Structure 1
Amino acid sequence: MPDHPAPAQILDRITTDALALDRALRTSTTDDAYALAAWITETQDLADTALYLFRGLAQHTPHSTSADLLVLERVAHIAKAAQDAGAELAAALARAVENRRRRADAVSQRVVLIGPSPQQFIESAIDLLDRIPALCHAIHRDRLAAPNLPTHPPH
């Protein structure tokens, strides 16, 4: 086994991580701050891995054909989807804490909550994460550049 995973292995890891996070978000309707913070960290790790792959591919991929650039574009979209999902989860976290504060400060039992709920932000993050496996599959299907790239996933 090589010391450094090939881009295909990194894409497989990105797909696995995105699917696991997607599954966790779908099966939990929580607005628990700790869980949300953990999921944000996971999306950041996912984005870091995609950006690391992008850097390796950009350094070792000829940028002379549309196919070469399409691989880079798709990896960039993976990183963006992960970052955007993290931003949606951060918005869910902020809204969840804000809602708790409003409930704690309320003098009556009735509290008016304004804006999207934490669950709506989580659903938006799920939609973004759903794109990642499809992008990884498209890269595998169309043309994976430089299979022996020296890459080290972050961690």
Structure 2
Amino acid sequence: MPDPINPALARITADAFTLRRALRARPAEQAHTLAARITEAQQLAGTALRLFLDLAPHAAQSSPTDLLLLDRVAQIAKAAQDAGAELTAALARAVENRRRQADARSGRVVLVGPSPQQFIESAVDLLDRIPALYHAISRDRLISFIR
């Protein structure tokens, strides 16, 4: 398998930390900010999927170690994609809430369902999986089998 996996996984993990930090640091309920965070999550998923595509042909013999590595990289991609989906749901809910408030004739608006912040918190939880998966790859010494 190709050597660039460790730097690629390290970059994916660092990008996940950066995105998590940004989501936790300031409320991201503004549409523009949420759209930017969605784009970051999608780029993170894209990087993980490109890594998967690079690794898959080299796992032709399908050893258990190679398959475990592919599984964990696929899980990283899924976590990033799912985080992006949660952020997209937060964006849709934030815009819907604003629209309802603007359309309301009275000052009181009843908002139903999870709040945008709840979707954002779910995205953060999903992003928390990425470093754990990276550490599992390192712990199980899957990277050493790549050469």
Asked if these proteins are the same fold (TM beyond 0.5), I'd say yes
Note the C-alpha offset of 1:65.
2.0
Equivalent of 2:11, from 13, 19, 33? 13
Taking CA–CA contacts closer than 8 Å with sequence separation of 6 or more, which of the two structures ends up with the larger relative contact order? 1
Structure 1 runs (4+) deviating above 3 angstroms are none
- Residues 84/115 of structure 1: CA separation in 2 closer, same or farther (3 Å cut): same
Residue 50 of structure 2 corresponds to which residue in structure 1?
52
Equivalents in 2 of 1:26, 1:118: separation in Å?
A: 13
Asked if 1:33 corresponds to 2:31, the answer is: yes
Do the aligned partners of 1:85 and 1:128 also contact (CA within 8 Å) in 2? yes
Q: How many residues in Structure 1 have an aligned counterpart in Structure 2?
A: 144
SS at structure 2 position matched to 1:112: coil
Residue 74 of structure 1 corresponds to which residue in structure 2?
72
Equivalents in 1 of 2:113, 2:128: separation in Å?
A: 24
- In structure 2, runs of 5+ residues without a counterpart are none
Q: Which segment is superposed worse, 36-45 or 59-68?
A: 59-68
Asked if 1:127 corresponds to 2:125, the answer is: yes
Q: Mapping of 1:137-152 within 5 angstroms?
A: 137-142=135-140, 143-144=142-143, 145-147=145-147
SS at structure 1 position matched to 2:113: coil
Note the C-alpha offset of 1:29.
2.1
The answer to which structure has the higher helix fraction is: 2
How well do the aligned residues superpose, as a CA RMSD in angstroms? 1.4
Do the aligned partners of 2:3 and 2:146 also contact (CA within 8 Å) in 1? no
- In structure 1, runs of 5+ residues without a counterpart are 148-155
Note the C-alpha offset of 1:5.
7.3
Do the aligned partners of 1:43 and 1:82 also contact (CA within 8 Å) in 2? yes
Equivalents in 1 of 2:3, 2:67: separation in Å?
A: 22
